Amino acid sequence: MSTEALTPEIHRDGSLPARRFDPKSATPFINKSVSEQTRRAYGRAVREFFQFTSMKHPSEVVPNDVVLWRDRLRSQKKSASTVAFKLSVVRSFFEYLKAAGAISLNPASTKLVSPPELSSEPSGRALAVKEVRYLLSGPDREKPEGARDYALMLIMLRLSLRVSEVCSLRASSVKWSHGRWTLRCKVKGGREEVWPLPKDVKEAIDHYLRLDRKRRDISHSGGEHAYLFQPHTNYRTLDFDKALSTRMVQKIVKRWADYSRIGDLSPHDLRRTAITRALDAGLSYRQVQMMSKHRDPKTVMRYDHGRENMEHNAVNFLRYEEESE
């Protein structure tokens, strides 16, 4: 990494000119992520922090600046998870600069700035089986748009995909491999993962693509490498050869949640539902991790609401008495 934007010239009299943070200097750090959504989130967090510091040069930022920013975020009623995420981004950025030799101290280190304590319970909700049925019964599957919405929500409910992952799917993501249908896509962190594709999900995708074939032919948005889930209306740019945005998926999920009268619902709640239902069915953390693609099994444990059930505690199953003959 070049440190030119971070290392100012020295005046002839030995004094240093006023130094300010150059947002362009953060570009290499932000672009390390392969996910566009992650890049936007990282860029936003870095930008917000330095705007708070009045664009201080990174070498002049001190731990108290980070503490004050953290406290400002909390005073704005930001959730603990949001504050922790923004702090982690800024901490990673300073660590990146430190590795490049641009600064000597990471002012956002957890040894200097403690992040907010996070709840051990995941936020959001997991749907009951009856609520899942209500949700999926909403879209009209005999119309292309309804078939799209049904297939999209079913994939998240059955495979536990993140919203960014389902948006990135292409027609070529569905492949026949080792005697069965599979779904391939890049997940958080940029690695490619594979899921077995259940029969009902494959049928929902095929049904949607059959109904949507005419629109794709007219708009030239079909083919093997076309995005699987596309907008059906786009009056602003008339560009249909593109993926649904994460915001559009949020609107789709909210629309059918409102229609089904099951309350507030986000795309991540569909992923949460899949993970929670799998754990409730007695599947092991390893099995659920293979579906959710979490790197750390401890993350899966956070979805296990039944782990606090006193009736299922191992204490109740231990015996040391001699068995009666």
Residue 49 covered by a domain: yes
Expressed as residue numbers, the domain containing 19 is 4-99
Instruction: Compute the distance between CA of residue 100 and CA of residue 224 in angstroms, rounded to an integer.
Output: 42
188 and 231 both lie in a single domain: yes
Task: Specify the CATH number for the domain of residue 83.
Answer: 1.10.150
Name residue 192's beta-bridge partners.
186
Name which of 20, 22, 105, 23 is nearest 66 in CA terms: 105
Over residues 295-323, the pLDDT tens digits come to 887 788 878 776 666 777 778 778 787 76
Last residue of a domain, one of 57, 79, 99: 99
16 and 58 both lie in a single domain: yes
Give the DSSP letter string of 202-266: HHHHHHHHHHHHHHHHHHT--STTSBSS--S--TTT---SSPPPHHHHHHHHHHHHHHHT-----
45 and 154 both lie in a single domain: no
In contact, 89 and 46? CB cutoff 8 Å: yes
The whole-angstrom distance between residue 322's C-alpha and the CA centroid of its chain comes to 52
Instruction: Give the count of beta carbons closer than 10 Å to the beta carbon of residue 128.
Output: 12
Residue 105 covered by a domain: no
249 and 195 both lie in a single domain: yes
CA atoms within 13 A on the CB side of 2: 7
255 and 137 both lie in a single domain: yes
The whole-angstrom distance between residue 179's C-alpha and the CA centroid of its chain comes to 31
State residue 267's pLDDT score: 95
274 and 175 both lie in a single domain: yes
154 and 297 both lie in a single domain: yes
Residue 76 covered by a domain: yes
Residue ranges of the chain with pLDDT lower than 50?
A: 1, 3-4, 11
Instruction: Compute the distance between CA of residue 135 and CA of residue 262 in angstroms, rounded to an integer.
Output: 8
Instruction: Compute the distance between CA of residue 292 and CA of residue 298 in angstroms, rounded to an integer.
Output: 12
Instruction: Compute the distance between CA of residue 102 and CA of residue 118 in angstroms, rounded to an integer.
Output: 32
HEC profile for 164-186? Answer: HHHHHCEHHHEEEECCEEEEEEE
Residue 68 covered by a domain: yes
State residue 228's pLDDT score: 95
State residue 172's pLDDT score: 94
271 and 211 both lie in a single domain: yes
Instruction: Compute the distance between CA of residue 240 and CA of residue 228 in angstroms, rounded to an integer.
Output: 12
Please, which residues have CB within 8 angstroms of residue 222's CB and are 6 or more apart in sequence?
171, 213, 216
pTM: 0.72
173 and 295 both lie in a single domain: yes
- Per the structure, how many domains does the chain have? 2
Residue 194 covered by a domain: yes
> Taking phi first (over 0 means left), then psi (-120 to 50 degrees means alpha), and beta for anything else, what does residue 179 get?
left
Residue 207 covered by a domain: yes
32 and 86 both lie in a single domain: yes
134 and 74 both lie in a single domain: no
State residue 236's pLDDT score: 64
Name residue 182's beta-bridge partners.
175, 196
Residue 312 covered by a domain: no
41 and 181 both lie in a single domain: no
Residue 124 covered by a domain: no
State the residue for tokens 């899949």. Answer: 274
